[in-house]
Structures are given as structure tokens and as C-alpha cells.
Structure 1
Amino acid sequence: MFDFSRPIDRRGTGSLKWNQPDPAVLCMGTADLDFASAPAIRQALLDLADSGMYGYYAKPEAYYRAVTGWYGRRFGCHIEPQWVLNAPGVWVAARMCIDTYSQPGDCVLVQAPHFSPIARIIDCAGRRMVTNPMVLKDGHYAIDFADFEEKLRQYRPKIYFMVNPHNPTGRAFTAGELQRLVELCDAYGAVLVADEVHSNVLFDGHAHHPILGLGQRAQKIAVLITSASKAYNIMGLTYATVLIADEGLREQFAAAMGGYSMDFATNIFSVAAMTAAYSPACDQWLDELGAYLAGNLDFLCQYIAAHIPALQVIRPESSYLVWIDCRQLGLPPEELRALFLERAKVGLTWGEDYGPEGVGFERINIGCARATLEEALARIERAVKALGAQ
């Protein structure tokens, strides 16, 4: 049994999540966990550090076995070792894909609400972002396939950049939804780049379907980007696994990697951590983490329904990031931010960072000890009630 209930004070440690000018603020924004990583990961890093040898190393066979074995155990998905490439992080991999599979001036299609980094990456790459707004009905987000196909037809994007599970809505797309997306991208000649970094935490019996597990048609057009970072809390060991089944797509990406020496000069501590994370030694830790986070999610939903009914939780199917509908408060973004940050002293990820579809929403990170979550919600309750009393 692992103890996730003990709060860990991260103030003053250099944590980006907890780097707030006001030390009274509870930081519930940036997507990392306030839990120590799995013991097997820590031990792998200690063993490497104790060796005193930090030169160039080839990735060991154990790493490839860990990646392919993990996909088999967690998702029943067969991955060939030769499909496994890497990059120094998910967003680096995303930019490499944009540079590799499109040209300046081309369009990149994304679902909305969308996280601000992908908009910046597309813009900095000299491409144009086209959005496919998701439809919110009865607390559930759905893909607008008619709009998706129209955007493919009208703009002819070279790339569809998919985030699945989706950030910030928490949707874990069904196999049927994914098959339809694959069919449309294939029909209109778009490479499907799937960011699946949030796939390790699932709720309420929902499943994650890796894009490369959907058959040959998907494997012909898809690039899968993932990392152990989000679930195993190793974001600082920046690393992403890039899985490409199609030989042509893989050769293109490998050529881009070679241009940056990204395969030869790999951080050996990142590889050690990833190998440990994907090994069976961390399976129980991940399962217990998921159970603890499910308890946090239930607590959040019940507390808000009972004490802050002006807010609506968009219950996620995955991840530890929860999208909150605050539109009933009737506040513009700057006043909504002030309500949470200045009055409640709770730092969130602000909805307007997700584009126009995010205005009136905020994202809260429940990857913390229950006591921290309880305190944050109590603060928010007091601030909202004080707002109504004015």
C-alpha cells in the first residue's frame, strides 16, 4: 500500500506549480502531482547516480521491453519495438511532427477548447490553427463530426493534432469516435498526431484506446506521442515516447531526430525513469494512484454539488485535471480569476488560456492530498458565497 494522503509542502522548492508570489495561495493549476514518484523509479535513478558513469549509452533492450510490455498490459495493444522513437518532451515531439509532416502556411486542425501551448507551437512554426469546437451538452463534451469534416474539406489541414484523453475536458474518446476520426483524416490526407500523455488515469470504467491499436488504417496515418510524466510525476525528467508504425512516417521523423541529435544524445536518467515506470514494478503504484484520484474526484463532485451549486463539474473520464463550468457566476475572465486567486487564494489554470471556448471555465488539479483539496474547496465556497452576499 502506498500513502497518497500525506500533504507534501512544495513551496520554496523551485516547483513551477507552487511558484506563486503570494505564499498563502493553494496551487491547484499546473499539471503535475503533489505525490512522490513510485519507489521503483526513485531506485532506478539512485542506482544510475551511484554508478558514477553518465556518458553516452544506447537505450537498453529493457527499455523497449518495458514500453511494449506496458502497452500490452494496460491496453491490450501490440507495439513493435522498431516503432519506438523518442523526443525530449511531448511539446518538442509535437513541434517536430508539425515541422516534419507539414509546410509553412499549412493548416493544423485541433479540437477546442485547446490548451494554449499547441496554439503557440503552431503559430511559431508558421502554420495556421483551425479549430473544431466540441459540443457541450448535459455536462458532456462530444466531437462535432460534421464540423470536423467541413474543416477538413475547407482548409485541407496537413495534420490533425488530437489530444486523447482530452485536456481540459477529460474526455477519453471511444473506439467508435476514434475510428471515425481515422476514416476522415485518411480520406482527406491528414496525418493524425495523437498526444496520449493523459492516458494513464481513467475513471468510472472508461477505457483508453491507443490510436495505433485501431488497425492498419490508423497505423498508416498516425503518430502517437506519450510519456510516463503525467501519471508517474516525472515531468522534470523531460522525455516523450513517439510511436510510429508506418515506415514512411517513421523514417521522416527519424530523419528530423537525427538533425537535432535527439536519439544519440538521450538523457540517460530520463530513460532509466521511463524504463522503471513502464515496468511491472510500478503497476501497483499506478493502480493505487488511480483509486486515490477517483476518491478525490468523487469528493470534488459531491462537495461542489452540495456547497457550491453555482459551479458545474464536467466530470472527467480520465486525467486528474477537472474542467469547471463557472458561467453561472456571470463574471468576465479577469473577475473570475480574481475571485479564485485573490479572494479564495486558490490558483487554477485559467479557462481563457484554452481559447474562446474556455471563457467562463477554469481547470483544477486534483492530484494532491485529500486534505489539500478539501481546503481549496472550502476557500472557494467561502469566496463564492461572499460574492453572492455583496
Structure 2
Amino acid sequence: MAVPSRLLLCSAVVAVALLVAPGEVAAAAGHGHTHTRRLRPKKSAAAAAAKLYPANATRAEAIERQFTRWVRFVGGRLGHGTYNYNRPALTLLPARTLVVDRRPGAGDFTSIQAAVDSLPLINLARVVIRVNAGTYTEKVNISPMRAFVTVEGAGADKTVVQWGDTADTAGSWGRPMGTFGSATFAVNSMFFVAKNITFKNTAPVPRPGALGKQGVALRISADNAAFVGCNFLGAQDTLYDHLGRHYYRDCYIEGSVDFIFGNALSLYEGCHVHAIARNYGALTAQNRQSLLEDTGFSFVKCRVTGSGALYLGRAWGTFSRVVFAYTYMDNIIIPRGWYNWGDPTREMTVFYGQYKCTGPGANYAGRVQWSRELTDEEAKPFISLDFIDGFQWLRL
């Protein structure tokens, strides 16, 4: 039985209001921990939510923080996983499906953004947005409190959402929108899932040294997101893996410079990473800034191919952390493997590792001395779903 959207919104507002207790507007920020799973204390939902906002947060931010706590309660206590192929995830309200088709009358909406905008501002039930085959030339943004959204295409080669903004594109007030705002598809809400769809930024490969040409295909800025069978196509800064814990399986990611970047905690499993660099390029630019931050990228059973001469990663963050395990690397990999971003002091703080990789580009003999070839024990925390706490929130 369908539940009217007005009732959903009212229920959500009541739930949020009940959670905002007097004197609770300014919550203390939580502390991060090093990535040692068996030694790391569990983060409380309150600490994780409070970390996003300072103690002097505005009332609107505080309400959003409390809503995030409530969503985590739904996910953690009631077993609401991101997706579940074997059994339906438990939700407070029933799931529903919306159909997007470019042809008027063939679906519920003719654009993905219109389907997103039809959801309650505070969404509490799993909603599947099924996008039929076609190329959708539009810019999509999912707001922070529209949680539990699944976007499912008809196949990554059949369903494409594309746009062409870059960092120097004029945004509001005529100012450049920056890398953050250039995303074709921006996700700011928790428990997001994408399956069998292509996210594309159509901006061309920039010439070497060009400024302001970063063009993001997808930006994910929220926790507990999964991408299965998706393509991410762009040139510079293709996939902005910004914040949160994320899982990518059987995805194709294409770009030239720093085309997987950000400060998320992400596991890439069985993915194909393809460089289209004309000269030099870099696969990752991970932005971990502190020893206390539990973030990093792990590539397991992936393939790295393409053109140009490619660094495995550049140390965007002082404590940048990236691991490649059981991964095939073509001969495009620069023997040194890693670049310190022009700051030799970062060589003492980054964590760059390989474990049982294969292919002509995987030879560890030429790697920089400040990277490492991992032992079985060192690799263990990086090569399973434990890396992203996946057994807690990801149902396969």
C-alpha cells in the first residue's frame, strides 16, 4: 500500500524533532583512529555524525546531524543494509520504484533529477530509480537527507548520464564552480546504491599543465555507498571519492590525472582502471591528512591498463594511503610507482603498498624506497570487506 509523500515528510520531521533534545544542538566532535581493525574502538553513531559539523553548528546543521544519527540507528539496529540480493532489507516504510525514460509518457519522469526531486526532503524508505536505456544529458544532485536511494540503469553501456562542467566553469554569481561543483552526478546522502549505469564528464583531456580543467563525473560525499557494474568516464579528476565508506565492484574507471581522488575509505574490487593520459598521469590522489584519519583506497583483484606513463598515486594528503593487492598492472606504470607531490617530507608519512600484484608494471624492484611490498599480515586489513566495515552495512 503506497504511503503519501506528505505523510512520509511529516513522520520524518516528527522523528527528527524527537531526536533534537534541549542542549544537544552542539555535540562534541568524535576522534578518528588508526586503521587497525582489531585494536580500533568502535565509533559511536553520534561521534561519526558530529564529526561532519563543528560544535558551533547552526540549528539546521544540528537537525541534519540528528537525522544522520537516526538513519544510522535504522541501518545498525534494524539491519538496513545498502543492498541485499538474497533477502529484502528491513525498513520502516515500504520501498518503491520510479521509472525514468527520455520518451514522454514511457516512464514516471523524463530526467533523473526530476525523479530525485519528487522524493520527500527527508527520505526514510528505499527508493529505486530505474533509468531506462538512453543518454541523459543533465546534472544531478542528491541532497543530504534523501537517503536510501538506488539508481539502476539498463546496463552501463546502455544508460549514460553526462554533463561537461569543469572547475573553471562559471557557477552561481559568475564565479568558477571549482572541482567540487563540477560533478555531473553528486551524491550527498547516505545508503546510496548505483548499478549498471555510466557517469560521464564530457570535458576533453586537458593539455599538460592546464589549470581549472578538472571535470568530475561522479562525487560521493556520504557514508555507506555501493557501486556495482558502473562506468566512470572523464579525463582529469574523474571520480571524486570524497568522504565516507564506499564499495566499488566490477566497475570501469577512466581518466588521465588524479582520476580517483578524495579522502574516503573505499574498497575497489574487480575493477578495471584505464588511463587515457597523453603524457604523464596519476591513477590516485588520496587525501588523508592525519594519522588519526581512518581513510584510504584499496584495490583488490583489479586491472590497470591504458596509455601514457602513469603513477600509481600522488600524495595529495600528508598521510595519503593506497594499497594495490592481487592487481594486474600493464607496462604503463612508471617504475618509481609513486610521487610525493613535490614535498619530500610526505615520504615519511604516506602509506603506499603492493601485495602479490602481477603484470609488467607490477615489478617492485624499481619502486621508491618509501613505498612497501606488504607481508601477508600487513596486507590482511586491506583485502576484505573489513577494510570498510562492510560486514556491518553491506549485504551481498
| Between structures 1 and 2, the one with greater strand share | 2
Determine if the TM-score, normalized by the shorter chain, exceeds 0.5: no
TM-score by length of 2: 0.29
TM-score by length of 1: 0.29
Structure of higher RCO (CA pairs closer than 8 Å, 6+ residues apart): 1
| Between structures 1 and 2, the one with greater helix share | 1
